[in-house]
Amino acid sequence: MNLKKQLVFFKNLKKAVKSGLPLDNFFNRLAGSAVWPSTRNLHKQISKDIEKGSTITDALAKNTGIIDELYISLVNAGEKSGKLDEIIDNIINIIENRIFLRKKIFSELRQPLFNIAGALVVLGILLFAFIPALAGFFTSFSSCPPCIVRVTQGFQQAFLTQSMIFAVVFVITALAGVDFYMSGIKNIPEYVSFRVIKLPIIGDLARWAELYVYFLVLKSCHAGGLSFIEATELANTTVKNHYLKQFTDDIHEKSKDGEPISAILQGYGEPSLFEPEISQLLEAGEATGRTEESYGDVIYLLRENMESKIELICNITPVLGFILAASPVVLIVLIILAVISKAAGIIMNAPGGLGL
């Protein structure tokens, strides 16, 4: 199930738990009114499993391809700690924030990126279709194409040939190989992840999005009464970036020695991965006994950082889009003027033309 369907599922589970109704009957009733077939089948299966004596965790665990394993683990922790209703609230909060994050990024960036892609397509059509056709038109009349057409076609033939593209690819591959060797990173997926989060603007956005969900899970686990070791283990499952994951793996290992997360982050000396403000907020929370509140402060900080970066991208992309869109327009105008001038010259010099 996608995030929206899982959100509906856990909101229904929250109602069932808080109402005190038998869960097997509750889910059986939900199955009858479910709109989506996947949800209907899930409700029926859960109802049957609970009727046979399974816990909610066991019932959900049979549907790991439908329900995110992170949420199943959190439900398990809630059942063990006796704080299931609180854990479900936190699961709902995590899903809602994930939906918000995706919607914020895609809705804000979709139109600017679409505009840039459209401008690039128009520019490509001009270079690869219109210019060669125009040059062929003039050649068919045994006439030299206009200067702007010859220059554009010369650029295309010089820089967009197979040999030039091969040379560029070779140079980029060689530079990437040297950079990979110098970075000291052991495997290619980790190196690619490293380069992604080191990209200007986009890299920060990707890193903050990963950390945003990571600290959401830590906060939810702490509210549900899980130990820091259990919390870091669960939060670690949300990190997809291979390079960043080696640090969250290390956080989990060091948590077993009782080391607080603020000290772990400070020990990395990686301000480009974990801003100093993050460890400062966590340290303040640990010192005052308000760890959960400090997680919330970090989440708010990351959210503000992402929104400011998205705003920056939205301010830059229209300018870039205008430049890309203006380039074909300027090129078309110059070509039209050159064609008119050239056509006028051909007519004037043709037998029986105005030049006689």
pLDDT at residue 134 in the model: 67
What band does 178 get if pLDDT is binned at 50, 70 and 90?
A: confident
Q: Give the pLDDT confidence of 314-335 residue by residue, as tens digits.
A: 777 777 667 766 766 776 776 6
pLDDT at residue 316 in the model: 75
Average pLDDT over residues 154-162: 64
Instruction: Give yes or no for residue 284 having a pLDDT over 90.
Output: yes
Mean pLDDT of all residues in the chain? 79
Structure tokens at 212: 């945003």
pLDDT at residue 64 in the model: 67
Q: Give the pLDDT confidence of 184-242 residue by residue, as tens digits.
A: 777 888 888 888 888 888 888 889 989 998 998 898 888 878 888 988 998 998 888 88
Which of 96-110, 153-167, 280-294 is least confident? Answer: 153-167
Q: How far apart are CA 320 and CA 269, in angstroms?
A: 35
Cα 319-325-329 angle, rounded to 5 deg: 135
Q: Give the pLDDT confidence of 77-104 residue by residue, as tens digits.
A: 888 878 888 888 888 988 888 888 777 7
Buried b (16+ CB within 10 A) or exposed e, 177-202: eeebeeeebeeeebbebbbbbeeeee
pLDDT at residue 356 in the model: 44
Q: Give the pLDDT confidence of 135-154 residue by residue, as tens digits.
A: 676 666 556 666 766 666 66
Q: Give the pLDDT confidence of 240-262 residue by residue, as tens digits.
A: 888 889 899 999 999 898 888 88
Average pLDDT over residues 142-171: 69
Residue % of the chain over a pLDDT of 70:
80
pLDDT at residue 354 in the model: 47
For helices 188-197 and 162-183, the axis angle rounded to 10 degrees is 100
* Structure-token match 């970090």, residue found: 298
Length reported for the chain: 356
Contact 232, 241 (CB under 8 A): no
Instruction: Give yes or no for residue 353 having a pLDDT over 60.
Output: no
Structure tokens at 174: 């060689």
Residues with Cβ within 8 Å of 164's Cβ and at least 6 positions away in sequence, in order, are 158
pTM of the entire structure? 0.72
Contact 119, 113 (CB under 8 A): no
